[in-house]
Amino acid sequence: MSKAGACEDLEDEDEEGILNHPSVLQIRNSIAILGGKERGLVTVLVHGKEREICRKSLFMFSIDSCFRTNVLSFVEWRWFERFILLCIAINSVMLAIYDQRAPEDEGLNWVIDSIVDNILTAIFTLECMLKVIAWGFFVDKKSYLRDYWNILDFVVVVSGIVGWLTVSGNNSGLSFLRLFRVLRPLRSLNAVPQMKVLVNTVICSVPRLGNVSVMGAFLFMVFGIIGIGLMSGIFYRQCRTTPNPVFENDCWSWNITGEERLCGGRYMCEAGGFCGGHEQDPDQFRPVFPNGTMQGFPWCTDSAQAKVFPQADWVHFDHIGGAVLLVFQCMTLEGWIDIMYMVQDGYSTVLGVIYFYLIVTLTNYFMLNVALAVVDEARDDFEDGSSIAETHAPPQMLDEILSENEELAEHVLWYDNKYIRLIYRFSIWEPFTNFIMLIIAGNVVSMMLECFPPQVAWAPVLDVLGIVFLVIFILEMIVQLLALGPKGYVT
């Protein structure tokens, strides 16, 4: 690969100028051999670019041979690269105009499959072979397959050859390999340096985007849990013809008025209608039966407990999965206003506005800009050549700082007392902080298990866990208050 900033532009120089270049050991076919810094490699200067290549490719083509130097000069020629890029563009156009629903052996599809595709496969195969001869295949450090971008090219070429062979041999079992030809446009990533920089920037930003993803997942869980706690079961609320179910024909009848709209919040049904919900609805919209229960009788066919809108079977606040999916849909801005109107009709106008505006603001605008800032920072680091590890060294732990500098611990203390000092050290003790983090994670999991209708078998266990978590958090708050003081705890 070329060394940026290390080579001179010799593209317009003649052979005499190349010979005068420092460190030139030999010149063959306008290729200057500068020598080698590593065993098995030699540095050459071809068309104004320095490149390290193996001394002998495929164990038989030496750098001194006339054939290999001609091949090397050809593959490094800028018009060769432009021709390959043109072929990639032609292939992309052919894939775009290919009619997947038309027969393969008729019209334009036949021309693409039988003529254009075969010609492009031959060109890309020849390109691969020439580069292998010029650079070596795999053994040496700077060989063809030692570059990840060339691996992509190689996979595309091999899949194209296999696909061509299967079609020629009528082997339908392997004909799916022809689908790999859709990867050919990706070869433009290797042919266009600017696109390669963009892709490398995205790859370099992936480790940093991991923290952004964790933050996004945390926001999804928080909004999902809030939604379950406040609005579970609201998508069952709809207008009924009677205030409560009526027993008839050995089933409970509670007919709906036909209004395709939630009720219970901003909307409370038209005249003569009564808002009713699920039998497990926590609010006043729960149906009331004469003897307190359904007495084992089912709902009538036209009165079964169903949701007003079909999409509410997937996006709802009945369990954490549906709630997170609803939050994700709102993050994409796809139909989030319609969902907000539904929640306003079935729960509350003010809380619906606050809830969904916070979702859109934090998960879409805020998180999107944070992600773009991380990618932009990664691009700057990639252009500067600095690594992620250098620019983001892990901070020193607080307990290590305190152990190194005892005066800092004295300064942090809000009250000079040996018991306060002991409590402070306990509050920053790593096992204690890890235990609190474990309890927080357990509390989040327990809240995620809440669902609608409530699971009777889970309820006692969740209630006990809620009390245990509450007691632990109260004790942890007392420890932090004593360790940091009222002002330090608040700030």
Indicate whether 479 belongs to any domain: yes
Domain boundary among 346, 367, 388: 367
Q: At what angle do helices 78-97 and 117-135 cross, to 10 degrees?
A: 150
Q: For every one of its 491 residues, what pLDDT tens digit does the chain have, with 9 covering 90 and above?
A: 333 333 333 334 334 443 344 444 444 545 555 555 555 678 888 877 777 888 888 888 888 888 888 888 898 888 888 898 888 888 888 888 888 788 877 788 888 888 888 888 889 899 889 999 988 888 778 788 888 778 888 888 887 777 777 665 555 555 555 566 666 666 666 666 677 777 777 777 888 888 888 889 999 999 999 999 999 989 999 999 888 898 888 898 998 888 889 999 999 888 888 999 888 887 788 888 888 888 888 888 888 788 888 888 888 999 999 999 999 999 999 999 999 999 999 999 999 999 999 999 999 999 888 888 888 887 777 666 544 444 444 444 444 444 544 444 444 577 778 888 888 889 989 999 999 999 998 988 888 888 887 777 788 888 899 999 999 999 999 999 998 888 888 87
Indicate whether 200 belongs to any domain: no
With vertex at residue 61, the alpha carbon angle to CA 59 and CA 62, rounded to the nearest 5 degrees, is 100
CA distance 94 to 100: 12
Indicate whether 179 belongs to any domain: yes
Under a CB-based contact definition with an 8 Å cutoff, are residues 281 and 317 in contact?
no
pTM above 0.85, yes or no: no
Residues 279 and 350 in one domain: yes
Strands 61-62 and 56-57 turn out to be antiparallel
- Give residue 34's pLDDT: 58
Residues in the chain: 491
Residues 341 and 245 in one domain: yes
The radius of gyration of the chain from alpha carbons, rounded to an integer in Å, stands at 35
Indicate whether 382 belongs to any domain: no
- Give residue 404's pLDDT: 45
Residues 252 and 340 in one domain: yes
- Give residue 35's pLDDT: 56
Indicate whether 393 belongs to any domain: no
Quickly count: other Cβ atoms within 10 Å of residue 89's Cβ.
Answer: 13
Residues 134 and 110 in one domain: yes
**What kind and span of H or E run contains 53?**
strand 49-54
Residues 58 and 81 in one domain: no
- What's 395's DSSP letter? P
- What's 429's DSSP letter? -
Backbone CA torsion sign across 19, 24, 25, 29: negative
Residues 57 and 85 in one domain: no
Q: Please give the residue range of the domain that contains residue 45.
A: 1-64
**Based on the structure, what is the number of domains in the chain?**
4
Under a CB-based contact definition with an 8 Å cutoff, are residues 231 and 347 in contact?
yes
Indicate whether 414 belongs to any domain: yes
Residues 59 and 89 in one domain: no
Ramachandran category for residue 450: left, alpha or beta (phi over 0 → left; psi -120 to 50 → alpha)? beta
Residues 157 and 272 in one domain: no
Under a CB-based contact definition with an 8 Å cutoff, are residues 317 and 223 in contact?
no
Q: Which amino acid is at 27?
A: I
Domain boundary among 323, 348, 367: 367
3 state SS of 248: strand
- Give residue 117's pLDDT: 84
Residues 168 and 95 in one domain: yes
| Short-list 74, 53, 187, CA closest to 120 | 187
Which pair of tokens denotes residue 252? 């409970």
Residues 230 and 357 in one domain: yes
3 state SS of 57: strand
Indicate whether 101 belongs to any domain: yes
Residues 10 and 36 in one domain: yes
Q: CATH number of the domain that 136 lies in?
A: 1.20.120.350
Q: Which amino acid is at 164?
A: W
Indicate whether 148 belongs to any domain: yes
Residues 33 and 123 in one domain: no
